[in-house]
Amino acid sequence: MMKRYNRHFLVLNFFLFLPIGLTSQESGLRLVAEPNVISLEVGGSTSLTVRVFDASGALVDVPVRYAAPRQAIRVRNDVVQAFSAGNFEIVATAALPAGVLGEIPTLRIPVSISWPGINTINLNPSAPMLFVGTTLTHHPIAFHADGTRRPAPVFTWTTSDPTVASVDAYGALTGHSEGTVTLIVSIEGSSRETLHTVRSFPATELLIEGGSDEARTGDVLRFSANGLGPEGRIEDLPVTWAYTFIPDDSIKAPGSAAIMNEGSFVAEVPGRYTILALSGSLTSRKTVLVHGREIVQPIELQGQGAVGSSHTSDLWVFEGLDGKDYAITGTWSAAGWAYFWDVTDPTNMFATDSIQIDARTVNDVKAPPSGRYAALSREGASNRSNGVVILDMANPAHPIIASTFETHGVTGGVHNMFATEDYLFALAGGDKYVIIDIRDPYNPMYVSEYNHPNSRVHDVWVHDGIAYSSEWENGVVVVDVGNGKWGGTIEDPVFVTNIPYPVGATHAAFPYHQESTGKFYLFLGDEMSGGGNEPWAGRGSDNRPYNIDTGEGGVQGRMRGYLHIIDFTDPEDPLDVARYEIPESGTHNLWIEDDVLYQAHYKGGLRVVDISGELMGNLAHQGREIAVYKPQDPGGFLRNQVSVWGAQPHKGHIFFSDMNSGLWAAKLSPISRPIS
């Protein structure tokens, strides 16, 4: 007979384990799992049932909660899903019935996750032919049977005759004598063989072409090297690239000052660089003088809309229907407040109104280009309905609630949204996004949704009819929601591609077309808590205001992660080309306009970065930072603690929100530089 208690059944995913014993001595409750040991492949799933029994062996109906590392495992609706290989644990805990004391009954369930077998290996050689004295490099990619890529694969390389050609542990194949040789690459029982004919070296001269004589740090130069021989020009010679460096200041220049990759070159510090191309016994060189970028501009505070009673979340700045400029800010882990600001004069910003909704957190606030409506996201509503609140912005200084949307899964909480003129894209419980017709703000209508399999979603951004959703370890998922090139419509979204990023945790994506180069970039920002493997530490965070009596609180959390920059010009061949990384702080929301990146960097403050021209390497090392502003407010929710959440340029000013101090406005001041 099952004993029933009047309690709700709840399944939660937590990032941390709960330090509890195996069973409760006083309650006598014990947990039994079926299965009690789980083995899965990445991408696979299995059912899990955990039952609770009392001391007499009777089945007890109480809530069971699950905790597991979220980047590896998800437990939802009694189904375990696997995302990353390794050995892990699911910790199941049972709630004690009312009036029963003791340790919470706990069961640890071992989970072993392996990678699927390798089905295909692509070698991607650096040149089509091999000659005596030259070296071919490879960039191998291993694919599983379902077409997904294996992250960080480890290959074994051999050749059939090392006297003809030898290969090192990293796939660099060097020709030694004329003849044929087989290159064998192996991984986990799968292998691929490629036949090479090693020919005599045909060139008598090597020429470097392209690039330029002068450049700035961060400018990408592209060089090519071609041979000349008795029969004329030879374009397919394998080439090894290198450089030498003479700094303009030997004291401050670092040892590694540039990146050289198959003819592409970018310098990080000023100096004189000599580019070297080597093939066979031939060497060619070209010298480039690199100057500093010299783009730093003063950034001046314009004004602040102080919020000291709670954490501030996101912001949105827009021109209202009355022609004035307004901003909306939300609140995080507070009491459901959203604030409305007149920012027409950034030196005199003031709150015009506030609205409290049934929510713990108003994480996101959005308005379309016209400003005719706005949306507030809801998490932690008392009735668990959550969803979104739609505002009529006919009077932007004093908006009114037009309607709410609480169906089709958004009851699980709406963390982020994206607003177009006619449609609102709202996240639903971190599992999918729902598309809502908002042409009539008083009658929002469900249109469609997209739920990527085996994935959790954090954010979505829509550009030119394409939705780019940020899905943590699965990277960015690209969906046609009306562009039409891939057959998608707003009523019937069509999957385009997925760019996985297992080394990070993709939290925000910003698509950007760079007019000067014609390239289309995706900027993917991580969000990772704690110090990870970083050497810096410090006092643990608690996100509570400082208590003068106890000396506790007042410490902002540590975040890490960086901005991954993907060349998405060819959606069929996305290339990971650059990053923006500040080691001691992590990224949050971002905005890009006119080749300038406005990056909210939590403890790193507001970062304004030049992203003009082709991008390669770490932008933070190249003198591309235009300005940095760290807002500190002694009256803030956490006093003088910097934690910039989001930034948005608007009419020549930069508006940004800080978790601890509210809304800020700053402005870059152009400076005159002498002509040298």
Percent pLDDT > 70 in the chain is 92
Contact 144, 117 (CB under 8 A): yes
- pLDDT band for position 26 (cuts 50, 70, 90): low
Query: pLDDT digits over 215-240, tens only?
Result: 999 999 999 999 999 989 988 899 99
Is the pLDDT assigned to residue 5 strictly greater than 80?
no
Q: What is the pTM of this model?
A: 0.85
Q: Helix, strand, coil % (nearest 5) of the chain? A: 0, 50, 50
Looking up tokens 């994206």 gives 418
pLDDT value, residue 71: 74
CA atoms within 13 A on the CB side of 459: 24
Distance, CA of 529 to CA of 532 (rounded, Å)? 8
Domains of the chain: 3-114 (2.60.40.10), 118-199 (2.60.40.1080), 211-291 (2.60.40), 299-668 (2.130.10.10)
Q: What are the tens digits of pLDDT across the range 502-526?
A: 677 899 999 999 999 999 999 999 9
Give strand pairing partners of 476: 470, 499
Tokens of 274: 């000599």
Ranking 331-335, 352-356, 437-441, 443-447 by mean pLDDT, the lowest is 331-335
515: tokens are 């007019």
Per-residue pLDDT reduced to its tens digit, 574-630: 999 999 999 888 999 999 999 999 999 999 999 999 999 999 999 999 999 999 999
Q: Which residue has the higher pLDDT, 535 or 394?
A: 394
Report the pLDDT value the prediction gives residue 1, as an integer from 0 to 100: 40
At residue 41 the predicted structure's pLDDT band, cuts being 50, 70 and 90, is very high
pLDDT band at 418 (very low <50, low <70, confident <90, very high): very high
Confidence of residue 150 (pLDDT cuts 50, 70, 90): confident
Q: What's the mean per-residue pLDDT of the chain?
A: 90
| Residue 660 to residue 541: CA distance in whole angstroms | 13
Tell me if 366 sits within 8 A of 347, measured CB to CB. Answer: no
**pLDDT-based confidence at residue 559 (cuts at 50, 70, 90):** confident
The Cα–Cα gap between 604 and 597 comes to 15
Place of tokens 């109104």: 353
Please state the rounded mean pLDDT for residues 125-149. 91
| Distance of alpha carbon 270 from alpha carbon 21, whole angstroms | 60
pLDDT number for residue 195: 96
Q: What is the pLDDT of residue 250?
A: 63
pLDDT at position 19: 34
Distances (CA, A) of 608 to 166, 297, 327: 48, 10, 20
**For 94-103, 404-413, 570-579, which range has the lowest pLDDT when averaged over its residues?**
94-103
**Pairwise CA distance, residues 652 & 254, whole Å:** 36
Three-class DSSP category at 619: helix
